[in-house]
Each structure stands twice: as structure tokens, then as C-alpha cells.
Amino acid sequence: MAELETLVGTVDEVVYHNDENDYTVLSIIDKNGYLVTAVGKIAYAAEGEDVTLYGKWVKHADYGEQFAFENYERELPTGRRAMLRYLSSRVIKGVGPVTAQRIVDTYGEESFSVIEYHPEWLTSITGISAAKAAQIHESFMEQTGIRALMMFCRDFFSTTVISRIYKQWGTGAVERIKENPYRLTSEIYGIPFAVSDRFAMALGFAADAACRIEGGIRYVFEYNAATNGHTCLPRQKLVAACAEHLAVGETAITAALAHLEKNGTVVSYTFDGAEYLALDRYASAEEEIARRLVLLDKTCPAISVGDVARLIDRTEQEQGLTYAPEQRDAVYTALSGGVTILTGGPGTGKTTVVRGLLRIFDDFGLSTLVLAPTGRAANRICEAARCEAKTIHRALEMERSDEREPIFRRDEGNPLDARVVIVDECSMIDTLLMAALLRALARGTRLILIGDADQLPSVGAGRVLCDLIESAALGTVALKEIFRQSEASLIVTNAHRINRGEAPHLDVKDKDFFFLGCPEDRIPDTVADLLCRRLPRAYGEKEAAGIQIITPSRKGRAGTEQLNVLLQSVCNPPAKGKKEMKIHGSIFREGDRVMQTRNDYDIVWHKKRTEGNGVFNGEIGVLEAITEEGATVAFDDRTAEYTREQLEDLDHSYAITVHKSQGSEYPTVILPMYSCPPMLETRNLLYTAVTRACTRVILVGKREVVGRMVANNRHVMRYTTLPSRMRDAKK
């Protein structure tokens, strides 16, 4: 390989800069005074900077000779003239050409030193107030700090990640990394342990360094929480996994765990004769859930049974229906206890019970709040039960936070103003969110948890609904009877057949559940044809907006990754005037259907005359506009403004996984039936997918795949301590 050449000079002009990948074209005055062009990747370049570039000279067909650099070093400019150019470039907030001239005229070559160490001196200059001096100092420190961080981290992280590090740690970022680079994984979103590990090795950290082993243990915990849903792990499994992952002996892991237990980072818990370990935040959350639920159940006043019977009879007359015995039992249980769990599949009358309860609570003058984990789920219960509903995050008045977890204004010191709280789609609620919700419920509040225990568990760690039912510590009613009006729906019938392990009816042609058999290699084209041609032609052009492709996996011929590429090309091809951008290697264009892939509590949204923040994992919208600053995405009930950095968490949503579809309902669902790993060909995954549809289900693919999924009643095990904690709290 040819040795790299060196170009030393001063940035005369930033001719072009791509914010997405930092590709930059610079006009450089070299040490001989010649003006040359340099091209390469560099972030936050500014006029007047002194740079040393490492690369080679190339000849461009259109632009002539250029220096293509692969690496660089940079320094703040020295000398009055260079300092003036730098400050005049507006790289420092609050400083334009006029102010720059005044600063340099006053302090000369000491200008940067004054800005950094004595910003109060700037107030002697006309036009600079104390507030503006502070702004100039802060902006200067940010620029110098982020440049130092860029130089330190550039071989390991992208500009986006480095900006995230700086936002979290500020000017002390470099020192923090030098002290313990493994904090990058535990405290900064999006940095894998493997990357922190490589960085640490480059800095000279040993494989058996205490911070490496402790950081690795935390990573194994967090990985299992995020990927497998575990809130805790058996000690022996954890020790073995950490030893293998870090390639160190189990003795070293045991010693590090002892230290983490001593300082409270890791908590030990024994039940059923086995020892489990958990990170403090998950252990605390499960303990808090158990304690608060049992307390609510004990302290909520019961309502007279005679009053309940009378009110149920009157509600039946008003609504023109007769409650089934199970439904009456559900109403009695909800009124006699402080916490009630109501579970059941589609068509079993959960919403009817909710409507009746809302009527009764209103008669008693009890303020009621109806909640759901997502906006779509909240809209659904709102329409079905004819009541106002909110997302849990909105009700808890979430605030922005620089930390990984959100901050809620509603908590034990500022509880929700409601005597009754009804929460729908509880199978979606993870451990941390449930703990936050319970924290905001005042003593004596009546809580009703509604969900389908046979659906997939939450995306986040835990299996709260199933754990609470398993504990048998709270009043629980399972609705099983399918009502006559629902029996007409083959979606409902087949959903229950699947759930019982019976083959669904696939050959009925005049219902709302269809099967289209085809070879695996034809599934993608068949799905695209249904989405873009056959269904709109049969049911009208508006049909396309209500169709959702739901598939078991991201991978494979009919997985979301390949399907989204195909469906984008068919549904939203390139067009003149339609802007595009590249995000994590994929093309996104205006008009694309997109989905948020993680909770982001900072994204600002607008809804009529209100404004808020937070877009959550699984929310689906349309990419309306691409701008220099980022993009605008229209969701069901609001419009969100994304920065360039926030766009990293968007994915295409023409096709989504079953897990991402939880809590949502779509008029038409198309399910590709293709061969997947056995862990995805499961009964409850197929059941969850089918129950996302309210009007029509179309299965496309292989009949034998449907059979395998129905027969496979494998449930992915999640390690949690909640059932045991509930039983202990109940004693």
C-alpha cells in the first residue's frame, strides 16, 4: 500500500458538507500560500482552522486535481487574521463578522483565551451583554470540546454517535472515556459493547480489567432484557454467559458480581430454590409493582353488592343487551376489589364490560381515566368503548430527558387525578412502564387491567400481564365465550381455533379470512400485487391505506427487510420533485410509510393547537417532507418533527413484524406464510398476527407453514421475579 501524503494548511472555505456522512469539500491554503481543494470526511470544519490532512493527490474528471484525505488532525487557528476568519464564520453562536472584529481588535491573539477563561471580560465590548458573553463562552467550549472528542473518537464512532456522547457528557467526555470506556455502552444509546471493547483495547485496557468485566456483566443483563425480555437471570447461567462473552474465567466474573452486588448495581433474589440476579432498576421495578398492586387492592373501598346488581340490570336495559355470566362476574370483581384483571380473546366481550363499568362508575360519581400503551391502542378503545382515552406516557406527563429512561411529572408526589384507572392492551406493558404507572396512582384508586394473555409479551423486558395472572394474587376474570355477533366473523373463529391448537378454516370463500396458496419464491410478488392492484381494485382505492403486511421475521425472502424494498419500489417509486435521503444504508423518500423503532422521548410533535414530545417504538406514520434539518412524519393524530439524528430510528413500515404490530388494529392484514426458524413459527405469534385485523385477513404462502405454527405451542420463556414477589407481598 502506498504511503499517505500530508497536506498542511488553513481552511479558507467549507465549499460543501454532507450532514449525513460528513463528506466535505474544503478549500485549503497550503503552507506555501497556494489554494488547493481537499475532499474527505470531516465534521464541524470551519474557516480559519489549521489542519493536517493525510491522503493522496487524485485527478477528478470534472474538478481537476484534488487531495483526497483519509485522516486528519486539526487545531484552532492562531494569529489575529486566522482567529478573525474563524470567529467571523459564525461557527460560534452569538458572534458574527462585526462582533468578531471587535473581539479581535480588543484582545488580539488572546481572544480565544479570554472567551474560554474570562468570558466576563467580553462585556467591555460594545454590543456584548453578560448573557451574550455567557452564550459565546458556552458555544466556544462546545465547539472546542466536540472537536477534541471528534479527534479522540473518530476511528470508532460516527459523527452522530459522537454528538450523542457530547450531548450527554459535555466537555468532560474525553476524560470520562479515558477513565472507563465501557461507560459508553451503559450510558450512551446505540454503542455496542464490542465497539467500546475495541476502543478500550486501543487505549491499553487489559482483558481482565475490572471495568471491562463489570461493563460486560451489565451488557449481558441489558442485552437479555432488550432481546429476550428477561428482567433477571439465574446466577449460574449469567456467570457462564459472561465468562464466554468476555473470554475470562468464571472466578473473575464471580468476583466482579460480588462487587456489583455490594454497591447495589446488581440484586440477588432467591425463589423456588434457585438464585436469580438482576440489575437494580429491574429488581426495584418488579418489587415496586408487587408492593403497589397489593396496596391498591387492599385500600380501595368496595361497592355494595346490592348496588352493583341494580346498576348492572339498569345498564343492560339502557344498552339493550344481556350480560353473560362471565361478564357479570367481571363487573362484580372489578367493583369488589381494588385491582382486577380482565383477559380474553377477540369477540369475548371485553369492550362490553368496559362500557358497562364506565356507566356504573359515572353513576357513582367516580372520575375515570382510560389508558393504553400506544396511540393506536388508545384510539381503538376510545372508539369501541365510546370514551376518551390517552396513552400511558401522555397521562403520566412525560418530560424530555438526557437519560435513557423518560421522566414523568406524574408520580407518588403528583398522582393522577382519577378514582378509577382502566388500562387496555396490558400484554404490551413492560416492567419499567408498569412501575411508572403504579407510582402515579394514589392510594384508594381502583385499577382495572385488560388484555389478551395469549398474545405475544411486551417488546420491553418482563411479562407483566401473564405474571400477574400466574401469581393468582389479584382478582382475575377470563372471558372465553364468543358472542353470537362475533361468531359470524371467521377472523374471530379462526383466532380461537388457532389458540386452541386447531387448524383454522382456510377454504371458506365468502367470509373475512382467506388463504392464497403459492410457492415461497412467489410470496413477495403476490403480496405486492394484493397491496397495489387486486385489493384496491376490488374494494376501492382507499383500501390500500388500511392494508398492513405483517410477517414473522425481518429476515428471509418474505421478511420485512426484503419486502419493504420491493413494496417501496411498487407503492412509492422515485418521482420528479419527490425528495429522498439515505438513512442507515436505505433510501427513504417523501410518501414512504415509516415506523419508529425505539422510544424517543425528545421528538417534538404538534396536534392542532397542542405540542408535546415523544414518539414510541412501533408507531407508524407517513414521511411527509424531507428538509435540510431533518423530516416531518405524520402519525395518526399528530405530526412529528425529526432532526437528522433522530431519523436514525426510522424504518420502512410497508411490512412490519408481528412483534411491532402489537396493540394496533388494521382493516386488512396480509400474512406471508413462509418457512422461518422454529422460534418464530409459533401458535401465539400467528394468533397475535390474526387478531390485528378487524375486517379481513389474507394468508399468502404455504399451507404447511400454517399447520406448523398452529402445532407449535412453544412460548419463549422470560426470567422474571414478579410472580414470586406478588405472592410474597400478598402474604
**Per-residue pLDDT reduced to its tens digit, 69-88:** 887 887 777 888 888 888 88
Minimal CA–CA distance to 354: which of 377, 331, 324, 378?
331
Mean pLDDT calculated for residue range 424-437: 95
pLDDT higher than threshold 80 for residue 302: no
Minimal CA–CA distance to 339: which of 434, 433, 275, 269?
434
- If phi > 0 it is left, if psi is from -120 to 50 it is alpha, else beta; for residue 663 that is left
- Residue 304, classified by CB atoms within 10 Å of its CB into exposed (0-12), middle (13-18) or buried (19+), is exposed
Q: Report pLDDT digits (tens) over 120-141.
A: 999 999 889 999 999 998 888 8
Distance CA 31, CA 451 (A): 71
Angle ∠(23,26,29) on CA atoms, nearest 5: 155
Distance CA 558, CA 144 (A): 48
Buried b (16+ CB within 10 A) or exposed e, 126-157: eebeeebbebbbebbbbbbbbbebbebbbebb
pLDDT higher than threshold 50 for residue 383: yes
Query: Which triple of cell numbers denotes residue 399?
Result: 418530560
> Looking at residue 20, what is its pLDDT?
64
pLDDT higher than threshold 50 for residue 51: yes
Distance CA 611, CA 607 (A): 6
Give Cα 192 to chain centroid, integer Å: 16
Mean pLDDT calculated for residue range 467-486: 87
Mean pLDDT calculated for residue range 14-26: 81
Query: Which triple of cell numbers denotes residue 223?
Result: 442485552
> Looking at residue 400, what is its pLDDT?
61
Count of CB atoms within 10 A of residue 285's CB? 26
Count of CB atoms within 10 A of residue 580's CB? 13
Minimal CA–CA distance to 692: which of 355, 456, 500?
456
Angle ∠(343,344,346) on CA atoms, nearest 5: 140
Mean pLDDT calculated for residue range 241-250: 95
Mean pLDDT calculated for residue range 524-546: 87
Strands 5-17 and 50-60: antiparallel
Q: pLDDT averaged over the chain?
A: 89
Q: How many angstroms separate the Cα of 112 from the Cα of each of 82, 84, 146, 456?
A: 12, 10, 16, 58
Count of CB atoms within 10 A of residue 60's CB? 11
> Looking at residue 404, what is its pLDDT?
58
Strands 389-391 and 368-372: parallel
Q: How many angstroms separate the Cα of 54 from the Cα of each of 5, 35, 37, 68, 450?
A: 6, 17, 13, 8, 62
Q: Which H/E stretch holds residue 599?
A: none
Question: Which pLDDT band holds residue 146 (cuts at 50, 70, 90)?
Answer: confident
Minimal CA–CA distance to 607: which of 369, 375, 371?
375
Q: Report pLDDT digits (tens) over 154-207.
A: 778 876 788 778 878 887 889 999 999 999 998 887 789 999 999 999 999 999
Question: Which pLDDT band holds residue 45 (cuts at 50, 70, 90)?
Answer: confident
Q: Which H/E stretch holds residue 359?
A: helix 350-363
N residues, the chain: 731
User: Phi and psi at residue 692, in whole multiples of 5°?
Assistant: -80, -15
Strands 547-551 and 666-673: parallel
Query: 26, 42 in Cβ contact below 8 A?
Result: yes
Listed as own residue / partner, the contacts of 702-707 with beta carbons closer than 8 Å and 24 or more positions apart are: 702/517, 702/519, 702/520, 702/673, 702/674, 702/675, 703/506, 703/515, 703/517, 703/673, 705/673, 705/674, 705/675, 705/676, 705/681, 706/503, 706/504, 706/506, 706/515, 706/673, 707/503
Minimal CA–CA distance to 94: which of 121, 120, 118, 129?
129
The radius of gyration of the chain from alpha carbons, rounded to an integer in Å, stands at 30
List Cβ neighbours of 487 (8 Å cut-off, separation of 6 or more): 347, 493
Query: Which triple of cell numbers denotes residue 714?
Result: 412453544
Question: Which pLDDT band holds residue 402 (cuts at 50, 70, 90)?
Answer: low
> Looking at residue 240, what is its pLDDT?
96
Mean pLDDT calculated for residue range 94-106: 90
> Looking at residue 585, what is its pLDDT?
80
CA dihedral 244, 246, 251, 252 (to 10 degrees): -170
Regarding pTM above 0.85, the answer is no
Distance CA 433, CA 281 (A): 12
Query: 211, 180 in Cβ contact below 8 A?
Result: yes
Distance CA 88, CA 71 (A): 26
Query: 125, 104 in Cβ contact below 8 A?
Result: no
